[in-house]
A and B are shown apart, each in its own frame.
Chain A
């Protein structure tokens, strides 16, 4: 081995602490990058192949009832590829030992074949025997939550009649990757089950023999989905069609797509921030590392090593660090990517996970890290070699210090010598300290960014749910019923107060843009459900006109005062124009709101309602729920408290993992920066400190001189980190808003505290390591040679 390479090996093993922390920075940056991007790629790839292999439909439509021959008409629509008619219905399920209301959906399977759209993936068991009326396939999420397996029995209420069903198989389809009750904020695998039964027995149970009430279609590549839907709607209109829904608006697909959009933004922004911060720090740290070798560069030059040879030497040194860091990053990223994808894949229901790691992502992470490190080398080596070697090798002239500001202000009398040294050191090295401060501040900022989803969603729940929705129970009716029903409900024991609303499905059209959603008609002075304007202040529903969620206004590109074309999809099929009178702030969902009386005037039936909000005595809540569930009119009951609880329950794990993961990275970054600063200060000042030891200073005193500087650095960094974190969060919120979610900007006090604690803890830890090094300071060795 050439001696210069031996020097390389030795330098690396002598500085292993610094090598380790620099490599750790690269590992963190690259691992975050690879984790998120591989998760995103894997989920997208899995979704794609699942959709393709299991023939996920393009159009979905529900209707009252149509005879089977209508399917022939549908098949003749131009651009239609496959058509599958079905019978489906909601139903109640009973799970022994699980008291809460469990609802589900039962869907028909063709009698003598497998479905040609939304095919079943059988996890276990077999398909139900044709024409047998008590065999079903159970959705795998629900089965997993409750421990059902093939062979078990399931009690159900089908069309009002209790019925015991035998589970012959466990399966899933691309139609229900996201499973949840309408109105819930998160997938709910426990309280919502999907069942598949053969067509003939199911049709018999619902009086649907020779007919269907649901149809799914796939279209050819060239087809215009919107045109197909228009024609489909015309065909189904006489049969009580509720309007075709394109894949984009299908519940599961919509949620999944939103989640993937969200993730793809997270997966670009967060790792980019992480790797950018890592790159910045890497550059600074590598630069400082090389500056400590200034004298050695001088020696090599004096003996005729060329600038290129010296540059190559340090390039090689940093390459070793970069490679160690990248290997760590790729392995960790690969591992965490799998874990994170698996977490998502179980939260949603995918039959399998195609874990893909895109070589380009690995390459990109490597190139960014390497480029950052090499630019650090380049500039510092360049600086070192342009410095005349004679000067590089001269013992550094005593550095020029100044009295610190504090001393100038007259505090000198109160300061001891070591404190003066700390202050003067800081005064002299303003740039270095500034970079150190920035580095630690970035670590704190990363921590804040990492906890962002946690904070924002919590805020969303507290504001959107607790404050704007003071109700306890929300009840929706199976059909529009007379508004007398409300009075009966309010008479139930434990119910304090109730307010009814009317919801109508509509299609909004403005210019060429349209959107399928609903108008909620609320009574004047509604108390149980508040609507907040864009300034988050409660607003009253206006006497006339329509309020839209802000985001819907953006989608339709409509402004206050414009008239929106509203097509009611309730069967009346009326179309009218309604003036938009304002916008409101709602984080989830895109609805229109108007006065219930005004709304009723536009519809054929006047005094009907679709649901009610109730204020109840908490101790009666379960009883009331039970009683309402048994009522034939009641469709769904939502309990605000339960929705919140379930949401926290289902997301707690994800948050915990994410939080942990990001805290770890932020902590590692803080540790790296502080350790590096301390180590380099130590190597720059070891003579000075050793001299002090020789003069009789204790270890504690010299530690104070060295670490005091770091303490000031960390304390300065924390508030700056808060500011940076706030700014980054703002940037992410701004760039991440999607159709479904508008994340509120909120950083909790707990997050600030945690960020500060993590930074301080990491700093203390690195201080401890340096202190250990300081304790072993070889006095004579240091004074005899010069590093």
Chain B
């Protein structure tokens, strides 16, 4: 069992900025982020709406490009990576859970997971992944036939199914009641513990910080503070 983080960061960001150009208006989403994330650790990202959490995570996952600064993942410099390197990075190393689920409507729950496991190197079966989020009995339903929370759990199953090195979760419990939320968090923790998956978890729910190794607070595109959580608790022990 890995205890705390090892000394080698897997992500390291320096002076990361992101500007959205909206016609004549410029939106400064990130204003210089310095950050390291280590393998095995769980990081919880907290911050007000619009503070830049999703933007940061998307850049870490190679879904979006920074306007300035640099990010590296192990020995890949994401800010200058080729399209092919980015694709490979996402394909083999990262699992995403999106804030808005983003399931493929024409595929069933099982198929939404399968479409990812089919191109991964060492995946679980879609059934295993769905059982992990307690959806073993809804595998053949289409997204439109599932509740928001159920869709969210499929999104999580899809993210963890490939046994990624890194899990990037954007409000994975935002749409869930506390009981299911805890089930989901436990699944995430289990993956983290058994595989050493580095996990970045965006949430508005301060309580969830309890399961983190570190809690990072974002304020207006900047990191306002990083606190180390000395007393990690299991999601079982949380209530909200």
A785 partner residues in chain B, CB cutoff 8 A: 101, 103, 105, 143-144, 151
A388 within 8 A of B: yes
User: Which residues of B are found within 8 Å of A787, using beta-carbon distances?
Assistant: 105
Nearest-Cβ distance from residue A183 to partner chain B, whole angstroms? 68
In this assembly, does A359 line the interface, its C-beta being within 8 Å of a C-beta of chain B? no
Name the A residues within 8 Å of B54 (CB-CB).
390
| Cβ distance A512 to chain B, nearest Cβ, rounded Å | 67
User: Which residues of chain B come closer than 8 Å to A296, judged between CB atoms?
Assistant: 104
A11 to B142, CA, bound (A): 13
Knowing A301-B87, A302-B63, the reply to whether A3 touches B118 (Cβ < 8 A) is: yes
Judged by a CB distance under 8 angstroms, whether B91 is at the interface is yes
Please name the residue on chain A nearest to B63 by beta carbon. A390
B238 at the interface (CB under 8 A from A): no
B194 at interface, CB cutoff 8 A: no
**B contact residues around A305 at 8 Å (CB):** 87, 91, 119
Report if A778-B144 is in contact (Cβ < 8 Å); known contacts: A10-B107, A785-B103: yes
Residue of A nearest to B104 (CB): A296
Q: Which of B94-111 contact A (CB under 8 A)?
A: 94, 96, 98, 100-107, 111
Contacting residues, chain A, for B81 (C-beta < 8 A): none
B48 at the interface (CB under 8 A from A): no
Task: Please encode chain B, from 63 to 83, with 1 for each CB lying within 8 Å of some chain A CB and 0 for all others.
Answer: 111000000000000000001
Contact present for B91 and A11 (CB under 8 Å)? no
Question: What is the 8 Å Cβ interface bit string for chain A, positions 272-297, against chain B (1 contact, 0 not)?
Answer: 00000000000000000000000110
Contact A303–B96 (Cβ < 8 Å)? yes
Residues of chain A within 8 A of B148, CB atoms compared: 784
> CB within 8 Å of A: which of B124-166?
143-144, 148, 151, 158
Cβ of A121 to closest chain B Cβ, rounded Å? 61
A388 to B107, CA, bound (A): 23
Q: Which A1-18 residues have a C-beta within 8 angstroms of B? A: 2-4, 6-7, 10-11, 14
Chain B CB within 10 A, most for which of A301, A307, A309: A301
Selected contact of B106 from candidates A11, A304, A391, CB within 8 Å: A11
Q: Mark A388-402, 1 if CB is under 8 A from B, else 0.
A: 111101110000100
B10 — which chain A residues lie within 8 A by C-beta?
none
Given A304-B119, A785-B151, the answer on whether A395 and B104 have CB atoms closer than 8 Å is no
Least Cβ distance of B94 to chain A in Å? 8
Query: Which B residue's beta carbon lies closest to that of A296?
Result: B104
Which one, A7, A14, A307, A395, contacts B100 given CB within 8 A? A395
Pick the most buried of B61, B119, B148: most chain A CB atoms within 10 A of its CB.
Answer: B119
Minimum Cβ distance to chain B for residue A297 (Å): 10
A775 at the interface (CB under 8 A from B): no
- Set of chain A residues within 8 Å of B33, measured between Cβ atoms: none
Q: A10-B106, A303-B116 are in contact. Are A394 and B111 (CB under 8 A)?
A: no
Interface residues in B183-210 by Cβ distance below 8 A to A read none
A307 touches B87 (CB 8 A): yes
B90 within 8 A of A: yes
B58 within 8 A of A: yes
Q: Are B91 and A3 in contact (CB under 8 A)?
A: no
User: Taking the complex as formed, is A299 at the interface, i.e. its CB lies under 8 A from any CB of chain B?
Assistant: yes
Contact A391 B90, beta carbon cutoff 8 Å? no
Q: Which residue of A lies closest to B111 (CB)?
A: A3
A163 within 8 A of B: no
Q: Is residue B231 contacting chain A, with contact meaning CB distance below 8 A? A: no
Q: B35 near A: Cβ within 8 Å?
A: no
Can you name the residue of chain B whose Cβ is closest to the Cβ of A299? B102
Q: Mark A458-492, 1 if CB is under 8 A from B, else 0.
A: 00000000000000000000000000000000000
Asked if B229 lies at the interface with its beta carbon under 8 angstroms from chain A, I say: no
Chain A interface, DSSP helix/strand/loop, else mixed: helix
Query: What are the residues of chain A within 8 A of B98 when measuring CB–CB?
Result: 302, 393
Closest Cβ of chain B to A376, distance in Å, is 21
Q: Contacts A7-B106, A296-B104, A394-B100 hold; do A303 and B115 have CB atoms under 8 A apart?
A: yes
B87→A304 contact, CB < 8 A: yes
Q: Verify B88–A304 contact, CB threshold 8 A.
A: yes
Give A784 to B100 CA distance when docked, in angstroms. 10
With both beta carbons as reference points, the residue of chain A lying nearest to B116 in the complex is identified as: A303
Say whether A298 faces chain B, with CB atoms less than 8 Å apart: yes
Contacting residues, chain B, for A303 (C-beta < 8 A): 90-91, 96, 115-116, 119, 158
Instruction: Return the chain B residue nearest A787 by Cβ.
Output: B105
Q: Report A-chain residues with C-beta under 8 Å of the C-beta of B83.
A: 307
Q: When A303-B119, A304-B88, A784-B148 are in contact, do A7 and B65 touch as well, CB less than 8 Å?
A: no
- B58 x A390 contact (CB < 8 A): yes
For window 297-338 of A, CB contacts with B under 8 Å fall at 298-307, 309
Residue pair A786, B100 in contact (C-beta under 8 Å): yes
Q: Are B104 and A14 in contact (CB under 8 A)?
A: no
Residue contact A302 to B64, C-beta cutoff 8 Å: no
The interface residues of chain A lying within 8 Å CB-to-CB of B169 are: none
Task: Say yes or no: B104 contacts A304, CB within 8 Å.
Answer: no
Chain B CB within 8 A of A696 CB = no
Residues of A close to B88: CB separation below 8 A: 304
Is the C-beta of A781 less than 8 angstroms from some C-beta in chain B? yes
Contact B90 A304 (CB under 8 A): yes
Q: Which B residues are in CB contact (< 8 Å) with A300?
A: 115
**B64 contacts across to A, CB distance below 8 A:** 388-391
Q: With the chains together, A11 CA to B98 CA distance in Å? A: 23
Kindly state the separation between the CA atoms of A786 and B144 in the bound complex, as whole angstroms: 9
Q: How far is the CB of B66 from chain A (nearest CB, A)?
A: 11
Minimum C-beta distance from A18 to chain B (A)? 14
Interface residues of A in 585-612 (CB under 8 A from B): none
> 1/0 contact trace for A352-366 toward B, CB 8 Å?
000000000000000
Give A5 Cβ to nearest chain B Cβ, in Å. Answer: 10
Q: Which residues of A contact B92 (CB under 8 A)?
A: 304
Known: A7-B106, A786-B100. A302 touches B111 (CB 8 A): no
Q: How would residues 377 to 414 of chain A score, 1 for a CB under 8 Å from any chain B CB and 0 otherwise?
A: 00000000000111101110000100000000000000
Bound CA span A787–B90, Å: 23
Contact A302 B96 (CB under 8 A): yes
Q: CB-CB < 8 A to B107: which residues of A?
A: 3, 6-7, 10
CB < 8 Å: which of B87, B114, B116 contacts A306?
B87
Kindly provide the distance from the CB of A164 to the nearest chain B CB, expressed in whole angstroms: 80
| Bound: A393/B116 CA distance, A | 17
5 contacts between A and B (CB under 8 A): A6-B111, A7-B106, A7-B115, A306-B87, A400-B23
Which 7 pairs of residues, A with B, have the shortest CB-CB distance? A304-B91, A390-B58, A390-B64, A390-B63, A304-B90, A3-B115, A10-B106
Interface set of B (CB-CB < 8 Å, partner A): 23, 54-55, 58, 61, 63-65, 83-84, 87-92, 94, 96, 98, 100-107, 111, 114-116, 118-120, 143-144, 148, 151, 158
* A3-B114, A301-B90, A303-B90 given; 16 more Cβ-contact pairs under 8 Å: A6-B111, A11-B106, A14-B106, A303-B116, A304-B87, A304-B89, A307-B83, A388-B63, A390-B54, A390-B58, A390-B64, A393-B102, A784-B148, A784-B151, A785-B143, A786-B105
